[in-house]
A = this chain, B = another copy of it.
Amino acid sequence: MSEALEAGCVPSPVASRKRQAVLEAAAKLFIGQGYGAVSMDAVAKAAGVSKATLYAHFSGKDALFAEIVRNRLSRLKTDSATVANHALPPRESLRAMGQHWMRFMLAPRTLAIYRIVVGEGTRFPDLARAFHAAGPDQGLAWMTAWVEEEIRLGRLRADTNAQRAAEQMVGLLRGNLYLRSVLGLQTTVTDAEIDEVVDAAAETFLRAYGTEPSPSPAAHAT
């Protein structure tokens, strides 16, 4: 790159700083208020830059938004790399994965991104695709791999369709709790609520797919 190396001009660092400030401010606003409710004026003001600067870095509101979501997705991807475990008995692994999964899905940021992608999905189809690939699809792939390995280890029934079982496990986790959170009807979720849902999901999953006879008789009732 032929940057003007004149005195008095500090080209890249400042640009990066401002750019970063814009990205952070915009992320906060979009996540807090959604896409339509946030104006470029508001972003510029929150970032402490002028609108002209903003437009110097991003070609428009949609490009800025896409950049935000992509950043967030890549971060989520690495955050979620909590690995399937085969050292513990299946129930314990399922519990651990379920807990992690639920906390991730119910985190305010995750919910906010989901809401935006769903709401604006028809206007940003490739964003919806990217979201699904980096989020749900990735998670499903991990879960499927775990199921396959457990089958191989003889701890899940040999006649199990691994992918469908994985989908079902995810479905069992995503109960009313998730829907209520997505709709904003329930703003706080306690650890006890999560534990309850996760334990019940693991129990049902193992009754359907486990090879151990029938773990605990009445432990499933409230």
Contact = CB atoms under 8 A, between A and B. Distances in A.
Interface range on chain A (Cβ under 8 Å from partner): 35 or more
A119 B115 contact: yes
A174 B176 contact: no
B172 A168 contact: yes
A118 B183 contact: yes
Given A119-B120, A129-B185, A208-B204, A172 B174 contact: no
Contacts of A120: 34, 119
A136 interface: yes
Given A172-B168, A184-B122, A185-B132, A161 B220 contact: yes
Contacts of A140: 176
A157 to B, nearest CB: 8
A183 to B, nearest CB: 4
Nearest to A218: B159
Interface string A156-177: 0001110010011011111110
Nearest to A178: B171
Contacts of A182: 118, 121
A118 B222 CA distance: 31
Nearest to A161: B222
A96 B179 CA distance: 24
A36 interface: yes
Interface string A117-159: 1111111010011011000100010000000000000000001
Interface string A10-43: 0000000000000000000000011111000000
A201 B204 CA distance: 12
Interface of A: 33-37, 114-123, 125, 128-129, 131-132, 136, 140, 159-161, 164, 167-168, 170-176, 179-180, 182-185, 200-201, 203-204, 207-209, 217-218, 220-222
